[in-house]
């Protein structure tokens, strides 16, 4: 359900984009976003890459507001992958500082909007300041009943699947030791070991900057997700680009393997 009239959520749409076309009963419950293009945005302007990452913060704010107001219940943003450690040391250090400062600066506003903040990924590898900022955000917002913002940081889907497989093996061994019989292996049992346990699979994945790959993101969870790829670089992504993604999703015929 929309938090306010849709014309207030999207008050000044570009010509040809009508927010009134959005069907509130068909807004995806879970939207995942691969935020790509910060570096290219900066390069086009002869700026260093970190300036591009800083410029992308406003796009995150816009997307959070639009998603929450439009009735999305879960928004997952891919902030830093397990492969991103390969980037230059100064960029990685700058990103970690940016995560910490941004999270601390934004958490009060998110809390006022009843947004719950959580993370997925291996937080143990993060600098203390960054990890503590995310933990503070979780503790402050964990009882909120609005949209859940899931920040994927030091996240890799293959790593997550291995984590779930190890958890499943441990569970099977425990059951055998306790009662001599292992339970049947099911998708539901396996999913308990995923970082996203308890979160519904995304109905819509948005990827910016024109790239056409999933980049080790939610490989298990994206089995029947609708993809929306746009050439727009992440710092230029705004609520109207988000609206375009929602409208594209609502035009799809989701058959889940059926006719």
Q: Collapse the DSSP code of 217 into the 3-class scheme (helix H, G, I; strand E, B; otherwise coil) and give the result.
A: coil
Which of 19, 30, 55 lies closest to 239, judged by CA?
19
Checking phi first, is residue 50 left (phi over 0); if not, alpha (psi -120 to 50) or beta?
alpha
- Burial code of 112-149, b = ≥16 C-beta within 10 A, e = fewer? ebebbbbbbbbeeebeeebbebbeebbeebeebebbbb
Give the span between the Cα atoms of 257 and 214, in whole angstroms: 21
Active-site residue, 144 included: no
Q: Which of 48, 84, 97, 144 is catalytic?
A: 84
By the 10 Å C-beta count (0-12 exposed, 13-18 middle, 19+ buried), 3 is classed as: middle
90 is catalytic: no
Question: Of residues 12, 18, 36, 231, which has the active-site annotation?
Answer: 36
Phi and psi at 59, nearest 5°, equal -65, -35
Catalytic residues: 36, 84
């Amino acid at each position: 359900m929309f938090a306010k009239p849709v014309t207030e959520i999207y008050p000044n749409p570009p010509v040809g984009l009508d927010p009134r076309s959005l069907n509130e009963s068909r807004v995806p419950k879970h939207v995942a976003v691969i935020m790509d293009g910060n570096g290219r945005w900066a390069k086009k302007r002869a700026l260093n890459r970190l300036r591009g990452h800083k410029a992308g913060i406003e796009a995150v704010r816009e997307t959070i507001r639009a998603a929450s107001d439009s009735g999305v219940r879960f928004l997952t943003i891919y902030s830093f992958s397990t492969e991103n450690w390969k980037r230059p040391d100064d960029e990685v250090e700058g990103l970690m500082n940016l995560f910490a400062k941004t999270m601390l600066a934004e958490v009060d506003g998110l809390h006022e909007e009843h947004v719950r903040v959580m993370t997925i990924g291996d937080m143990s590898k993060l600098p203390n300041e960054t990890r503590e900022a995310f933990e503070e955000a979780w503790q402050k917002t964990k009882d909120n009943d609005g949209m859940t913002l899931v920040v994927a940081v030091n996240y890799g889907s293959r790593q997550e699947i291995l984590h779930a497989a190890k958890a499943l093996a441990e569970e099977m061994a425990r059951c055998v030791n306790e009662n001599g019989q292992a339970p049947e292996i099911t998708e539901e049992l396996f999913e308990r070991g995923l970082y996203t346990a308890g979160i519904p699979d995304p109905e819509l994945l948005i990827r910016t900057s024109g790239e056409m790959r999933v980049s080790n993101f939610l490989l298990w969870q994206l089995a029947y997700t609708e993809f929306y790829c746009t050439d727009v670089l992440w710092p230029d992504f705004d609520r109207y680009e988000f609206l375009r993604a929602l409208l594209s999703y609502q035009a799809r015929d989701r058959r889940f393997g059926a006719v």
